[in-house]
Structure 1
Amino acid sequence: MHAFSDPTSPIYARLTGMFYLGIAIAGGFAIAYVPSQIVVPDDPAQTVANILNRSALYQSGIAADVVVMIFEIMALTMLYFMFKPVSATLSLAAAITRLSMVSVMSAMLFFHAGATLLATSPDLMPSFNASQRADLAGLLLEMHRAGVWIWQVFFTVHLVLLGALIVASNKAPRLIGIGLMLGASGYLLDSVYAFAFPDAALLGALRIALLVIVTLSELSFALWLVIKGQSTATTAQHMAVSH
Structure 2
Amino acid sequence: MQSFSDPMSSSYARWTGAFYLGIAIAGGFSIAYVPSQIVVQNDAAATVANIVGKNGLYHLGIAGDVVVMVFELFAVAMLYFMFRNVSKTLSFAAAMARLSMVSVMSAMLFFHAGADLLAQSDQVMTNFSAAQRADLTGLFLEMHRAGVWIWQIFFTMHLLLLGYLVLRSDRFPSIFGYGLMIGGMGYVLDSAFAFAFTDVAWLGTLRIGFLAIVTLSEIGFALWLFIRAPQAPTTLKGAMA
TM-score scaled to structure 1, two decimals? 0.96
How far apart are the structure 1 equivalents of 2:117 and 2:144? 15
CA drift at 1:232: 1.3
CA drift at 1:235: 5.8
- Give yes or no for contact 2:171–2:233 (8 Å, CA) kept in 1: no
Q: Which residue of 1 aligns with 2:203?
A: 203
- 1:106 matched to 2:106? The reply is yes
- Give yes or no for contact 2:98–2:158 (8 Å, CA) kept in 1: yes
- 1:184 matched to 2:195? The reply is no
CA drift at 1:81: 0.4
- Give yes or no for contact 2:156–2:187 (8 Å, CA) kept in 1: yes
Q: Which residue of 1 aligns with 2:225?
A: 225
Flag as ranges the 4+ runs of structure 1 deviating above 6 A.
Answer: none
How far apart are the structure 1 equivalents of 2:162 and 2:170? 13
Within 5 A, what are the aligned runs for 1:1-243? Answer: 1-233=1-233
Deviation digits for residues 41-62 of structure 1 (CA, Å, limit 9, x no counterpart): 0111110110000011000000
> 3-state DSSP class of the match of 1:68?
helix
For structure 2, the residue ranges without an aligned partner over 5 or more in a row are none
2:190 alignment partner AA: D
Q: Count residues in correspondence.
A: 237
For structure 1, the residue ranges without an aligned partner over 5 or more in a row are none
Deviation digits for residues 6-52 of structure 1 (CA, Å, limit 9, x no counterpart): 10100000000000000000001001000000000011111011000
CA RMSD of aligned residues (A): 1.1
CA drift at 1:234: 5.9
Identity of aligned residues (%): 66
Deviation digits for residues 152-185 of structure 1 (CA, Å, limit 9, x no counterpart): 0000000000000000002310111011001110
CA drift at 1:83: 0.3
- Give yes or no for contact 1:170–1:231 (8 Å, CA) kept in 2: no
How far apart are the structure 2 equivalents of 1:30 and 1:235? 43
